[in-house]
């Protein structure tokens, strides 16, 4: 049911006439997609959450300005985009050229599944939705200046016409087109040249088998087995901890230095993040008599090998709906 139909049911002609509970009900219908939009722009789940809250607050305060020339959804997207730009204007500096994005956080697939279907049945739309939420894409976006970043998301992800983007940003169409060209060029600098090299793998038997073997090797702390599954140019980071490691030797060397080979008492639960395979690792705690959250490893797999690994801390577990602890007895992968 569209917002316009809902307004008629309420017996009003515009959002300026509804009370706060009714307005909240209308706006909340778009919460998840607005959150994903802000996440793409900001790279942080938490910052996106705060920005959506700010969006709804601004929308309520400015409800009289909604004239119905566009849909309520488009109006909220405009407010959300400007709220993101305001945050970016006062945010931490842009990432270093080395590629680190220390504020990066994963996005659980279980929440992405809440997105409205839209044009999801169309293969091209489905591919765009999947590719532009993957961590490789989100990281690359963070290296763009704020306004070209917004133009890229509005034009290439949401499919807005240049005229509407120009109106939102208070720019000319020519300025928007120029910003889009700069943004696309910037993305090419931070993504492999060939699309199949940066998009996530299909959910096929080969990928699932590789994830299974990677999981078993992780639980066993078998560094050599893990090394055999990594591409030569694999990249590894653990936001918000500084450090980006590129190349199999550099990645394995970091793991050995951190004492991974001697780690025992691990259990792993499979999960999904950013439309990519992920592993939730738990570590045995003798005092608690249970396995407690440790890390979430998000993998990017192409060509039958792992070419990117992001490891996130245990504070990400709750939004994935993962258990707070695992009992001593269980049959998930464990060591």
All structural domains of the chain, each given as residue ranges with its CATH number in brackets, are 3-194 (1.20.140.160), 205-334 (3.10.450.50)
Q: What is the DSSP letter of 108?
A: B
Least confident range from 26-30, 108-112, 120-124: namely: 120-124
Whether residue 240 is preceded by a cis peptide bond, meaning omega within 30 degrees of 0, is yes
Mean pLDDT value across residues 64-89: 91
- Kindly report the pTM of this predicted structure: 0.90
Q: Do the strands 230-238 and 266-273 form a parallel or antiparallel pair, or are they unpaired?
A: unpaired
Mean pLDDT value across residues 164-175: 96
Please give the residue that has the higher pLDDT: either 63 or 274. 274
Least confident range from 17-21, 64-68, 101-105: namely: 17-21
pLDDT in tens, 237-283: 999 999 999 999 999 999 999 999 999 999 999 999 999 999 999 99
Please give the residue that has the higher pLDDT: either 11 or 286. 286
DSSP 3-state of 326:
strand
Q: Residue 150: left (phi > 0), alpha (psi -120 to 50), or beta?
A: alpha
Give the DSSP per-residue string, 249-289. HHHHHHHHHTTGGG--SEEEEEEEETTEEEEEEEEEETTTT
Please state, in angstroms and rounded to a whole number, the distance separating the CA atoms of residues 19 and 83: 23
pLDDT in tens, 180-203: 999 999 999 988 655 545 555 556
pLDDT in tens, 10-29: 444 455 566 778 888 889 99
66, pLDDT greater than 90: no
41, pLDDT greater than 70: yes
pLDDT of residue 22: 81
Share of the chain above pLDDT 90, in %: 73
């Amino acid at each position: 049911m569209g917002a316009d139909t809902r307004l008629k049911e309420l017996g009003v002609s515009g959002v300026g006439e509804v009370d706060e509970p009714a307005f909240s009900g209308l706006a909340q219908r778009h919460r998840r997609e607005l959150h994903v939009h802000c996440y793409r722009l900001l790279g942080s789940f938490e910052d996106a959450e705060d920005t959506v809250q700010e969006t709804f607050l601004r929308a309520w305060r400015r409800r009289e300005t909604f004239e119905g020339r566009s849909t309520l959804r488009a109006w909220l997207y405009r407010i959300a985009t400007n709220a993101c730009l305001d945050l970016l204007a006062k945010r931490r500096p842009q990432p270093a050229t080395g590629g680190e994005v220390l504020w990066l956080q994963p996005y659980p697939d279980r929440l992405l599944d809440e997105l409205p279907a839209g044009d999801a049945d169309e293969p091209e739309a489905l591919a765009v939705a999947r590719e532009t939420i993957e961590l490789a894409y989100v990281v690359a976006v963070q290296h763009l200046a704020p306004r070209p970043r917004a133009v890229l998301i509005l034009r290439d992800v949401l499919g807005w016409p240049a005229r509407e983007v120009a109106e939102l940003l208070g720019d000319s169409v020519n300025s928007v087109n120029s910003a889009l060209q700069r943004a696309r060029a910037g993305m090419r600098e931070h993504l492999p040249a060939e699309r199949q090299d940066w998009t996530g793998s299909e959910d096929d038997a080969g990928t699932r088998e590789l994830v299974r073997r990677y999981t078993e090797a992780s639980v066993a702390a078998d560094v050599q087995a893990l090394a055999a599954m990594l591409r030569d140019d694999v990249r590894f980071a653990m936001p918000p901890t500084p450090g980006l490691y590129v190349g199999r030797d550099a990645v394995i060397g970091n793991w050995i230095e951190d004492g991974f080979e001697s780690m025992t008492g691990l259990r792993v639960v499979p999960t999904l993040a950013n439309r990519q395979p992920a592993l939730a690792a738990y570590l045995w705690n003798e005092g608690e008599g249970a396995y407690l959250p440790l890390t979430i490893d998000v993998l990017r797999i192409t060509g039958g090998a792992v070419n990117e690994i992001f490891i996130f801390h245990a504070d990400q577990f709750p939004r994935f709906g993962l258990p707070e602890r695992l009992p001593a007895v269980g049959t998930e992968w464990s060591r």
